[in-house]
Amino acid sequence: MKVDKSQSGRPYTGRTTAERPSSGGRRPAGKPQFERQSERAPRSSGKAVESSQDREEYVWVLDYLPYGKSIDGKSAYQKKPLVQAIGDKKFTLMELVPKSGVIPDIQSRVYIGPGDRNEIDHVKQRIGYSDLTNGANLELPFILEAIVRHREEAFVKFFNDAHSITTRLHMLELLPGIGKKLMWSIIDERKKGEFKSFQDIRERIPSLHDPAKVISHRIEEELKDDFIKYRLFTTPPRRQRPE
């Protein structure tokens, strides 16, 4: 993740007069690095093709359905096993068809990228939060936290690079439990030196008890809400043709 710029075009490094959230000021032209959602739900085209940069190569298994979905109208002998999973790069929810005779373990991390795949035959489709099974719903919070801890370096970098969105709002304020006071504590502390790990953040910002949980809760909010205004870590849900 490259060093982000504030809306004014300068790195957001501290409590300067120009960058301090205020009640006035025009928004300069330019698009934030993260996506801002429109007030309408994203439209599902069914033909969208993800770029290689966004394409998931590893997923974490949320649920295994030995007879597929019960709502597809097929008889039991016609149904193929399905896996519901979430990508660990852009947190893409999807359904996969496992290889014959393979039963992936729940919470396991499996490869779905180019080349040989040991567990997964192919990606069936991208799905939304409402398509998850009850079992997948129960596993999701635990797996999100596991992914965040697995990718600790990337999310520590987020705390180091997070910048202002508008003159009134900062990216850090979009994280659950972080208001103005805690936001400035993080900004002031990182000016002394970049954060090195989640443990480093906890020690230097005692009121931020568990950065990994804070991040995973935000990701879950983004997955649940198709209409959410700002997306820090996920992409808008959409259907995709089978790969």
Q: Where are the domains of the chain?
A: 58-149, 152-231
pLDDT in the model for residue 85:
98
pLDDT in the model for residue 72:
60
Instruction: Please check the confidence at residue 15 and state whether its pLDDT lies above 60.
Output: no
Instruction: Please check the confidence at residue 211 and state whether its pLDDT lies above 50.
Output: yes
Q: Note whether 109 and 62 are within 8 A (CB).
A: no
58-149: what CATH class? mainly beta
Write down the mean pLDDT value for the chain: 82
Q: In the chain, what percentage of residues exceed pLDDT 70?
A: 72
Instruction: Please check the confidence at residue 24 and state whether its pLDDT lies above 90.
Output: no
The one-character DSSP state at 42 is: P
The CATH number, out of the four listed (3.30.450.40, 3.60.15.10, 1.10.10.410, 1.10.150.280), of the domain defined by the range 152-231: 1.10.150.280
pLDDT in the model for residue 91:
97
Instruction: Please check the confidence at residue 150 and state whether its pLDDT lies above 80.
Output: yes
The packing angle between helices 211-224 and 152-161, to 10°, is 90
- Spatial distance between the Cα atoms of 207 and 64, rounded to a whole number of angstroms: 39
Instruction: Please check the confidence at residue 50 and state whether its pLDDT lies above 80.
Output: no
- Spatial distance between the Cα atoms of 20 and 4, rounded to a whole number of angstroms: 17
Instruction: Read off the pLDDT of residues 75-114 as tens digits, 9 standing for 90 and up.
Output: 555 678 999 999 999 999 999 999 999 999 999 999 999 9
As a dihedral over the C-alpha atoms of residue 186, residue 188, residue 193, residue 194, rounded to 10 degrees, the angle is 30
Q: In the chain, what percentage of residues exceed pLDDT 90?
A: 68
pLDDT tier, 25 (very low <50, low <70, confident <90, very high otherwise)? very low
- Can 58-149 and 152-231 be said to share one CATH topology? no
pLDDT in the model for residue 17:
42
Summarize the confidence of residues 63-78 as an average pLDDT: 75
pLDDT in the model for residue 71:
66
pLDDT in the model for residue 44:
38
Residues 6 or more apart whose CB falls under 8 angstroms from that of 151 comprise 88
H or E element at residue 231: strand 230-231
Q: Note whether 91 and 132 are within 8 A (CB).
A: no
pLDDT tier, 43 (very low <50, low <70, confident <90, very high otherwise)? very low
pLDDT tier, 128 (very low <50, low <70, confident <90, very high otherwise)? very high
- Spatial distance between the Cα atoms of 190 and 65, rounded to a whole number of angstroms: 46
pLDDT in the model for residue 74:
60
Regarding predicted confidence, which is higher, 37 or 217?
A: 217
pLDDT in the model for residue 76:
57
